[in-house]
Amino acid sequence: MNSEAREKVQYKRRKIHGEEVVIVDGTPAVTIRQIMSKREVVRFTGLSPPTIWRRMKAGDFPLSIQLTPNKVGWFLDEIEVWMESRPRGVAELPGNLKNESVPSSAR
């Protein structure tokens, strides 16, 4: 195939149903999932790193992914879903995060 007969492949990025997708020659090809660093997650959620770790351990926060031996990240879409699931207003601490050694009357 000579270079004149080859067509250029066109790549475009589009949002489809809220997700960024790569379009190859008019066909959706790949969903792009953005990864956030710990610093970005802390800024985005307003939670401290220890709180994020405790909530992950308790199963009340999206799990991180290991990017390198010393770096973790989170998928932005999972953090957004978690944030949308949070109650509005003043919320009671989930049972799995309560310190059971303190009597409820002392709180």
Q: Is the pLDDT of residue 66 over 70?
A: yes
Per-residue pLDDT tens over the stretch 2-24: 555 456 666 666 666 666 777 77
33-86: in CATH 3.40.50: no
pLDDT of residue 87: 84
* Residue in 2, 20, 19 with CA at minimum distance from that of residue 11: 20
In single-letter form, the type of residue at position 104 comes to S
The pTM score is 0.60
Please provide the DSSP assignment of the chain as one string: --TTTPPPPPEEEEEETTEEEEEETTEEEEEE--EEEHHHHHHHH---HHHHHHHHHHT-SPPPEEEETTEEEEEHHHHHHHHHHSPSSS-PPPGGGS-TTS-GGG-
Q: Is the pLDDT of residue 58 over 90?
A: yes
Backbone angles phi, psi at 60, to 5 degrees: -110, 25
